[in-house]
Amino acid sequence: MYNLGRAGLTFWSPTINIARDPRWGRIAEAPGEDPFLVGTYAVNYVRGLQDVQGTENHTDLSSRPLKVSACCKHFTAYDVENWKGVDRYHFDARVTEQDMEETFNPPFEMCVKDGDVSGIMCSYNRVNGIPSCADPNLLKQTLRQEWDLHGYIVSDCDSVSVMVTGHNFLNDTYEDAIAQTLRAGMDLDCGKSYPKYTGNAVNQSKVRESDIDKALENLYIVLFRTGFFDGIPAYKSLGKNDICTNKSIELATRAAKEGITLLKNEGGTLPLSTAMFKNLAVVGPHANATIAMLGNYAFESKHPGSPCHYTSPIDGFSTYGKVNYAAGCGDIACNKTSLIPQAVESAKIADATIILVGLDLTVEVEKLDRVDLLLPGNQSELINQVANAAKGPVILVLMCAGGVDISFAKNNPKIKAILWVGYPGEEGGRAIADVVFGLYNPGGRLPVTWYEANYVNKIPLTSMQFRPDDSKGYPGRTYKFFNGSTVFPFGFGLSYTKFNYTTIQTLQTLPVKLGRHTHCHDLNYMANKTKPTCPAVLSNDLQCGEYFKLNIEVKNVGRRDGSEVVLVYSKPPDGIIGTHFKQLIGFKRVFVAAGGREVVNFVFNGCKSLGIVDYASNRLLPSGGHTIIVGDGVASFPLQVTFH
């Protein structure tokens, strides 16, 4: 696209903010609620965009060639768009140092340290009173000095102007705001403030030319690395024939299939057989989805990611049988019930009924947060009426990003199967149909917790904390701290086959060597639990060279080939007050043929995989009995950490 003059070489992607709350409007852009998951996604995304083959381990990172420049955003603690009158241009995210160190910042740290990203975007919001784009502690100290960023820092669009007109930070003029952001370490303004007011700021002695020189140096080095001035030979021949290739379309299909998550499959209803189910009712507001399948961003004509064509759900199912389509709703809002009877009639005569419902960009999107966790309008009524009238099995397909409380459908015996497909992209319809009819066995896992609808009444979106607050009646957030009932938990996902795990434990004790002058660090323990003599040690005081291995044999004891995503968690020693229930430390997808078995190997660093963060934001390695948990508890074993 760049060679054809249709794109640049710097891409402001990926979004790696934590999906802290399902109401967040931009949750479609976020990889999930777990910082390790999000950070791993960030590293792979960035490496995929940036790495030029053969230069991945370049000794001088400031001159390492870039295919294109990626940009991890939005730094940091950004996840409020516009919720009940509170918008991102005025919001001050009050965040504890513990939550910052433990949850909000680790994905960005992994993006910089492990992904070697060449760009970071600072966010609109304030963090503890200071606009993130004007905070030298975040930009200069954390990003550049502590994490060693080799790249540039850019504002979210018009963030400098927002400082003046929205946050009214220190009653700054535009010249003051430019001085604040340049000195903090922000190199580029996505907006008009830098070009328009920087000259005035220099003339008023608020900005030094050396500040501008440093920003320009960071920007031009990235341009040189992308080959903007002299090109990169390996990519000069790419052109129109390399766009929309069959290989690319198949990759889009594969991505959609791998992300589809089976949430219910009563009595092994799925997959359907083409011999038995020839007449299909395909109903619902997403039955003929095209642009909606893309989620945020890509649909905009100004971006180079517009698909060459779409395969809608109707198109996909038409390859398997005769389709009778009925929208059931005029749109996602589904404010009227006048179209429901047609969908009901279709279901009455169909061998099987597929209902496609959910959300779209009129409900969850940039600049708009949700206020509830329900399906919009009369979608629930559509589902119930169609399910009650259907002659054959009913399959419910949910297209959305944030979780939706569909307890009514989960508990409805007429609804035999439920699939969550996210926003599956251009080939989404083909992927959904292939899963329903068994050409592909789903193995996806939920990257976020699906809460019950009353969750939104218990805690405001604007409360940034993750741990429960009993004094306010606030529940915890994410699987790490929420202990209430859910519609579906983080990491949930079924398959058309059955897998058995056998863990091959290689280590029962992890001895950690301390230096002569290493200090023990205290931890708060419950009164009825025994505290170790040396409860913990600061990770920074350790060499952190201890590793432990875990080998898991995955056996497919079912009748179908399938892929299994193996999740591994660590649980800290019992009795520590205020820490997480468990944390994800590893995940791998493995394909296992029916009747076959595969061994999945993990290697974990003790400090990273067993560490906790205390109330003072110290990263600690606790001693005592940790527990390694595989999946949803299908296997677990103790791991004793000892200091010597």
Measured over the CA atoms of residue 73, residue 79, residue 83 and residue 88, the dihedral's sign is: negative
Measured over the CA atoms of residue 17, residue 21, residue 24 and residue 26, the dihedral's sign is: positive
Phi-psi map region of 606: left, alpha, beta (phi>0 left; psi -120 to 50 alpha): alpha
Helical segments of 239-284, H only: 246-259
Distance CA 59, CA 557 (A): 47
Pairing of strands 486-488, 450-451: antiparallel
Distance CA 28, CA 293 (A): 11
**Residues in Cβ contact with 487 at an 8 Å cutoff, skipping those fewer than 6 apart:** 403, 404, 405, 406, 407, 410, 450, 451, 452
Strand partners, 502: 553
Residue 180 host element (H or E): helix 174-184
Residue 107 host element (H or E): helix 106-113
245 φ/ψ angles, rounded to the nearest 5 degrees: -75, 160
How far out from the chain centre does Cα 200 lie?
41
- The residue whose two tokens read 């430019």 is 178
**Residues in Cβ contact with 609 at an 8 Å cutoff, skipping those fewer than 6 apart:** 548, 570, 585, 586
Q: What is the DSSP string of 429-449?
A: HHHHHHHHTTSS------SS-
Residue 178: closest CA among 196, 191, 160, 166: 160
Distance CA 324, CA 329 (A): 15
At residue 163, the 3 state secondary structure works out as helix
Measured over the CA atoms of residue 146, residue 150, residue 155 and residue 160, the dihedral's sign is: positive
Q: What is the CA radius of gyration of the chain?
A: 26
Distance CA 477, CA 461 (A): 11
Could you tell me if 321 and 274 are in contact, meaning their C-beta atoms sit under 8 angstroms apart? yes
C-alpha distance across the termini of the chain, in Å: 58
Distance CA 488, CA 446 (A): 8
Distance CA 606, CA 601 (A): 16
How many Cβ atoms sit within 10 Å of the Cβ of residue 57? Answer: 9
Distance CA 250, CA 246 (A): 6
Amino acid identity of residue 235, one-letter, is Y
Which residues are part of the catalytic machinery?
156
**Residues in Cβ contact with 245 at an 8 Å cutoff, skipping those fewer than 6 apart:** none
Amino acid identity of residue 636, one-letter, is S
